[in-house]
């Protein structure tokens, strides 16, 4: 079942942007998906990528294969693959990642290790992604509010 965040509501109906749950799966299966490629997918393609929640290694492989094929079929490009992190920072509950700590320190927000540990892996992933230098800077504080950090 789709797990969209409230800060994503402005594009959920059209799926014009790549939702965090799909971005999480991209990092899990080692495929880089560019926004222009995503925008070439049909709404049915996008919905399939949202609804397919790979849990096993076999399912992750099927998700990767689906992505690679969709990118090739819809854009005529070959997918960019990358090495999957063996210990991604969003799964490490013992340490707040540096990029997130730096982003938090630039705000007036107090964020403790306990708060980090109470988040789901997908919420931690989202905060890390929203901490990077990207177009989503306006979603960082709404995400903190949604996750009840502030």
Q: Is residue 108 part of a domain?
A: yes
Cβ distance 60 to 26 under 8 Å?
no
Residues 25 and 66 in one domain: yes
Tally of structural domains, the chain = 2
Q: What pLDDT score does 136 carry?
A: 58
Query: In terms of C-beta density within 10 A (0-12 exposed, 13-18 middle, 19 or more buried), how is residue 86 classed?
Result: exposed
Query: What is the sign, positive or negative, of the torsion defined by CA atoms of 85, 86, 90, 92?
Result: negative
Query: Residue 80 — φ and ψ, nearest 5°?
Result: -90, 120
The pTM assigned to this predicted structure is 0.92
Is 94 among the domain residues?
A: yes
15 and 75 assigned to the same domain: yes
For residues 73 and 77, what is the distance between their CA atoms, to the nearest angstrom? 8
Supply the pLDDT for residue 135: 55
Out of 32, 56, 81, a domain closes at: 81
- Answer yes or no: do 59 and 28 share one domain: yes
Q: Which of 56, 81, 106 is the last residue of a domain?
A: 81
**pLDDT of the residue at 134:** 65
Domain carrying residue 139: 89-146
Do 60 and 15 lie in a common domain?
yes
Single residue among 81, 103, 129 that ends a domain in this structure: 81
pLDDT digit of tens for each residue in the chain (150 aa)?
Answer: 567 999 999 888 889 899 999 999 999 999 999 999 999 999 999 999 999 999 999 999 999 999 999 999 999 999 999 999 999 999 999 999 999 999 999 888 999 999 999 999 999 999 999 998 765 578 999 999 999 999
């Amino acid at each position: 079942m789709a797990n969209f965040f409230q800060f994503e509501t402005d594009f959920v109906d059209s799926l014009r942007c790549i939702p965090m749950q799909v971005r999480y799966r991209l990092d899990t299966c080692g495929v880089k998906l560019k926004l222009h490629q995503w925008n070439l997918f049909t709404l049915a393609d996008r919905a399939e990528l949202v609804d397919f929640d790979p849990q096993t290694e076999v399912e992750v492989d099927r998700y990767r294969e689906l992505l690679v094929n969709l990118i090739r079929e819809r854009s005529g490009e070959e997918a960019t693959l990358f090495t999957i992190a063996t210990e991604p920072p969003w799964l490490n509950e013992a340490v707040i990642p540096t990029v997130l700590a730096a982003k938090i320190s630039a705000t007036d927000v107090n964020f403790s290790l306990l708060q980090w540990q109470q988040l789901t892996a997908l919420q931690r992933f989202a905060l890390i992604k929203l901490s990077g230098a990207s177009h989503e800077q306006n979603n960082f504080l709404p995400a903190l509010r949604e996750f009840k950090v502030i």
